[in-house]
Copies of this chain bind each other. A is one copy, B any other.
Amino acid sequence: MTIDAGALAGQRCVVLGAGGFVGTSLCRLLNSNGANVVGFGRRSRIDTAVFPGAWVDGEFNDAQAIAQVIDSADVVFHLLGGSNPSASNRDPAAELQTSLATNLSLITTAIRARVGKLVFVSSGGTVYGAATHFPIPEDAPTDPISAYGLGKLTIEKMLRIYSMIDGLDYTILRVANPYGPFQIPNRPQGILATIIQRALHGSPVEIWGDGTVVRDYLHVEDVCDALVRAAATNAGSKVFNVGSGIGRSLNEIVASVSDVLDVNISVVYKAGRSADIPTNILDCTRAQQLLGWTPQVDWAEGLRGTADWLSRLGKD
């Protein structure tokens, strides 16, 4: 099945979490596809000059502000993240409840606002937990080892219940580890940006564990391509893995960055984290078959482009 690239032309597309890393790229792609883009979130800490379309400042827990911005939207992209896997296990019960409260409020608001479609970004890296077979298809067991992952999974299942009760249309993307321009280094999520930035500055890279942890890294342009296709699809399947399908260890990533940037990188290994599963690689056959989506960005080129953006960021 092919998705018409112009399917969103003239449509009112609201991006919640538009100031973030994926949101910024998504808004640019939607804009170039002729969509009427409205961004909502905390104003990006990066260059706002690159943001296309209208912008509404607001917090995720401000239900009234969200109700206003998504009213009668054709598509709402929900990229608002919240916590991260490690932090979420300091107080799992509190994390789960906070995450559900804000997300459930968004879902019921979207129903009342008669939103045409809700595209929800779930977490391909955490909903499956410690899988035993790779790559992982969408129908694999889902046993998250963090409250963060369980929160995402529970929201997925609530979307399904609400679609049965109230007819809410939605698509869920279980996205792998995204990387690329606009990802800010030295944060709990986005190890690749951190590694590249440290490599550019000649500082040592800190790695939790022994560096054998394997993840599925996907360029943000490929993530956004999948998001646009998710918005336009009428497929019966509602849940799609979105990843490269290739597993890379942290040690391999350091080697790749060293190779592409042609610099030496020193690594400091620290004790592993309990919310880290050993391996995550997604099977994205369903997205290929039903969304006509496959990753396009070459690994080395993706790293080079990220490094270019990070080196320009450092000079501002």
Residues in chain A within 8 A of chain B (CB atoms): 89, 92-93, 96-97, 100-101, 104-105, 107-108, 139, 141-147, 150, 153-154, 157-158, 160-162, 164-165, 274
The reply to whether A104 and B100 contact each other, CB–CB distance below 8 Å, is no
A104 with B108, Cβ < 8 A, contacts A147-B161, A161-B89, A164-B274 known: no
Main secondary structure of the interface of A (DSSP, over half): helix
The reply to whether A161 and B139 contact each other, CB–CB distance below 8 Å, is no
How near does chain B come to A238, taking the closest CB pair, in angstroms?
Answer: 10
Among all A-B residue pairs, the 10 with the closest Cβ atoms = A93-B104, A154-B154, A150-B157, A92-B161, A93-B108, A89-B165, A145-B164, A97-B100, A147-B161, A145-B161
- Rounded to whole angstroms, the CA-CA distance of A89 and B160 in the bound complex is 12
Query: What residues on B are CB-neighbors of A101 within 8 Å?
Result: 97
Residue among B105, B141, B147, B158 making CB contact with A92, cutoff 8 Å: B158
Residue of B nearest to A166 (CB): B92
The reply to whether B150 and A154 contact each other, CB–CB distance below 8 Å, is yes
Query: What residues on B are CB-neighbors of A162 within 8 Å?
Result: 92
- A143, A157, A160: residue with the most chain B Cβ atoms closer than 10 Å: A157
Query: What residues on B are CB-neighbors of A108 within 8 Å?
Result: 93
The reply to whether A143 and B157 contact each other, CB–CB distance below 8 Å, is yes
Residue of B nearest to A130 (CB): B164
The reply to whether B150 and A158 contact each other, CB–CB distance below 8 Å, is yes
Residue of B nearest to A157 (CB): B150
- Rounded to whole angstroms, the CA-CA distance of A143 and B153 in the bound complex is 11
- Rounded to whole angstroms, the CA-CA distance of A164 and B92 in the bound complex is 11
Query: What residues on B are CB-neighbors of A105 within 8 Å?
Result: 93
The reply to whether B96 and A165 contact each other, CB–CB distance below 8 Å, is no
Query: What residues on B are CB-neighbors of A160 within 8 Å?
Result: 143, 145
A141 with B139, Cβ < 8 A, contacts A150-B154, A150-B158 known: yes
- Rounded to whole angstroms, the CA-CA distance of A139 and B161 in the bound complex is 21
Query: What residues on B are CB-neighbors of A157 within 8 Å?
Result: 143-144, 150, 153
- A105, A147, A274: residue with the most chain B Cβ atoms closer than 10 Å: A147
How near does chain B come to A61, taking the closest CB pair, in angstroms?
Answer: 14
Query: What residues on B are CB-neighbors of A158 within 8 Å?
Result: 92-93, 96, 147, 150
How near does chain B come to A267, taking the closest CB pair, in angstroms?
Answer: 28
Identify 6 residue pairs between A and B in the complex whose beta-carbon atoms are under 8 Å apart, listed by A's number.
Answer: A93-B107, A93-B158, A96-B158, A139-B141, A145-B161, A165-B274
- Rounded to whole angstroms, the CA-CA distance of A120 and B82 in the bound complex is 30
Residue among B93, B104, B107, B143 making CB contact with A97, cutoff 8 Å: B104
- Rounded to whole angstroms, the CA-CA distance of A294 and B143 in the bound complex is 28
